[in-house]
């Protein structure tokens, strides 16, 4: 071996040792998570109760064959978290739970233990935390010192958040760019799959297809009860995959929550691979179904801005940011508490440019993606609601018309077995002739279900077998069309 080679190998040895230690820590993390998954409990400490910002258990992280997923960070720099930010999170976490093992702290903040352990050691040297005892797998149980408790109390008065370590705004913007719907182009087959539980005629599919493909926006208008909302809610299924969103974002020290269990549906999860499986994902992100968020008359201007939660120092992302890479449905458009002009003025630029400006609690303005399919659903004529400038930015306007008599009969035939009612063509003939044609009453897509429910409820009350009969249809129509 030459002298130069020996020197090079000696210089590389410390780096190799560090890499080996990191790899070992990562392997131990995975073994620990898998062991917890098998036993249902943690070895190092009692299971940590879930908080509003706590990540899903690591053993349930999904590793699907996705086009993009957030890789597990190897360093704090890759995670976009400073040592100061991490210290603040750990202090508030230990203040809330009393004492935790290092790996439980890592789980609470959704970061690898190898990134948490050096910070805990540094905090011990600074006399902010102390060892309370040992824990399995070369770990310790930590608790706050008096100095640490005092520091945690002051930090909590400013911001009480101690959940998953937040990601950077840049990381979030990159994730939207990688998961945008505009890169996907659903085919006719995709649309048929999305609407398989609805009766949609071919003409409607031909009109919806290009609109959905554009990934921009559309108006669905027409008479009430014909399925505008049902169509809008199913459009996202045509894109057919899931996305990753962060639990929280940190912007210049401000924490903004993005994941909202009220509107985001976590995707079915699969256990991690074996202990040597290396494709770990960043546990600060949640894998969800592409979101479909429906807002109606409750929509206000406040819903479109960052909402700062008083007393806890955490902001809530606006509804349009939560719907990025999915669909945002404005239902009953024109009946919101705010005027259509207010919404027009707020969104006319984002609809054109596909980015939005949000103002944080500290007064700073940030630019964020405005990247979703927006559907305006209304019973009113679009031209009566907004001006030409707004209509131009919504390129597709699709009328959802009344079903034909043939479609109406088909809907009754589809709904009958779902409600345990035997389909009777003769009774349907009576219904159509007596209660529709005789009164010049238009068909609506919702009426077959509604009329059959009237029959089912009446028969339950009168202890009779639900069936399609002239008598039962007379009763149902008398109730249903009383003031219509």
What's the pLDDT tens digit per position in 148-206? 999 999 999 999 999 999 999 999 999 999 999 888 888 888 888 888 888 888 888 88
Percentage above 70 pLDDT, the chain: 84
User: pLDDT for 410-430, tens place per residue?
Assistant: 999 999 999 999 999 999 999
**pLDDT of amino acid 9:** 45
Looking at residue 270, its pLDDT comes to 53
Give the residue-averaged pLDDT of 91-118: 95
Residue 29: pLDDT band by 50, 70, 90 thresholds?
A: low
Between 133-137, 155-159, 173-177, 302-306, the lowest mean confidence (pLDDT) is in: 133-137
Average pLDDT for 91-113: 95
* DSSP secondary structure, 13-62, as one string: HHHHHHHHHHHHHHHHHHHHHHHHHHHSS-SSSSPPPP-TTPPPPGGG--
Region of poorest pLDDT, from 57-66, 122-131, 453-462? 57-66
What is the average per-residue pLDDT within 112-123?
Answer: 95
Query: Which residue in 271, 282, 284 sits closest to 34, CA to CA?
Result: 271
pLDDT tens digits, one per residue of 249-292:
999 889 999 999 999 999 976 555 554 454 689 999 999 999 99
Confidence of residue 482 (pLDDT cuts 50, 70, 90): confident
- Residue 31 pLDDT: 58
Over the stretch 60-100, which tens digit does the pLDDT of each residue have? 343 344 478 999 999 999 999 999 999 999 999 999 999 99
pLDDT of residue 439: 93
Which pLDDT value is given to residue 54?
Answer: 39
Architecture of domain 173-241+291-399: 3-Layer(aba) Sandwich (3.40)
Which secondary structure element, helix H or strand E, spans residue 358, and what is its range?
Answer: strand 355-359
Q: CATH number of 17-165: 1.10.4010.10, 2.60.120.1130, 1.10.10.10, 2.30.40.10?
A: 1.10.10.10
- Average pLDDT over all residues of the chain: 84
List the domain boundaries for the chain: 17-165, 173-241+291-399, 405-480
Whole-model pTM: value is 0.81
């Amino acid at each position: 071996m030459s002298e130069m080679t020996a020197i090079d190998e000696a210089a590389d040895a410390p780096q190799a040792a560090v890499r080996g230690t990191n790899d070992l820590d990562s392997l131990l993390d995975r073994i620990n998570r898998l062991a917890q998954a098998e036993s249902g409990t943690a070895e190092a400490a009692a299971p940590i109760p879930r908080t509003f910002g706590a990540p899903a258990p690591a053993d349930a992280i999904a590793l699907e064959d996705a086009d993009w997923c957030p890789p597990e960070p190897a360093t704090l720099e890759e995670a976009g978290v400073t040592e100061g930010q991490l210290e603040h999170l750990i202090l508030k976490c230990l203040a809330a739970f009393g004492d935790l093992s290092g790996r439980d702290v890592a789980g609470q903040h959704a970061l690898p233990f190898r990134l948490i352990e050096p910070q805990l050691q540094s905090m011990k040297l600074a006399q902010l935390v102390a060892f309370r005892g040992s824990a399995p797998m070369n770990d310790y149980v930590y608790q706050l010192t008096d100095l640490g408790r005092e520091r945690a109390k002051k930090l909590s008065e400013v911001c009480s958040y101690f959940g998953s370590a937040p990601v950077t705004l840049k990381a979030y913007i990159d994730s939207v760019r990688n998961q945008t719907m505009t890169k996907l182009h659903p085919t006719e087959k995709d649309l048929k799959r999305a609407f398989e539980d609805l009766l949609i005629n071919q003409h409607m599919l031909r009109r919806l297809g290009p609109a959905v493909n554009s990934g921009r926006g559309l108006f669905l208008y027409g008479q009430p009860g014909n399925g505008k909302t049902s169509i809008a809610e199913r459009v996202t299924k045509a894109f057919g995959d899931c996305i990753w969103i962060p639990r929280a974002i940190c912007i210049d020290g401000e924490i903004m929550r993005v994941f909202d269990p009220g509107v985001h549906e976590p995707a079915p999860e699969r256990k991690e691979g074996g202990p040597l499986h290396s494709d770990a994902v960043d546990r600060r992100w949640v894998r969800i179904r592409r979101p479909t968020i429906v807002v109606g008359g409750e929509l206000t201007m406040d819903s479109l801005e960052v909402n700062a939660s008083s007393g806890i120092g955490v902001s809530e992302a606006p509804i349009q940011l939560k719907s990025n890479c999915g669909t945002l449905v404005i239902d009953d458009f024109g009946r919101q508490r705010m005027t259509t002009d207010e919404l027009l003025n707020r969104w006319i630029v984002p609809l054109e440019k596909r980015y939005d400006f949000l103002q944080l609690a500290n007064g700073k303005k940030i630019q964020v993606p405005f990247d979703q399919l927006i559907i305006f659903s209304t019973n009113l004529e679009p031209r009566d609601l907004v001006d030409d400038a707004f209509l131009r930015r919504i390129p597709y306007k699709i009328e959802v018309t009344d079903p034909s008599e043939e479609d109406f009969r088909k809907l009754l035939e589809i709904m009958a077995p779902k409600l345990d009612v035997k389909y009777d063509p003769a009774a349907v003939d009576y219904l159509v002739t007596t209660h529709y044609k005789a009164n010049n009453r238009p068909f609506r897509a919702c009426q077959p279900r509604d009329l059959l429910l009237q029959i089912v409820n009446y028969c339950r009350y009168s202890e009779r077998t639900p069936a399609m009969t002239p008598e039962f249809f007379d009763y149902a129509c008398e109730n249903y069309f009383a003031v219509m």
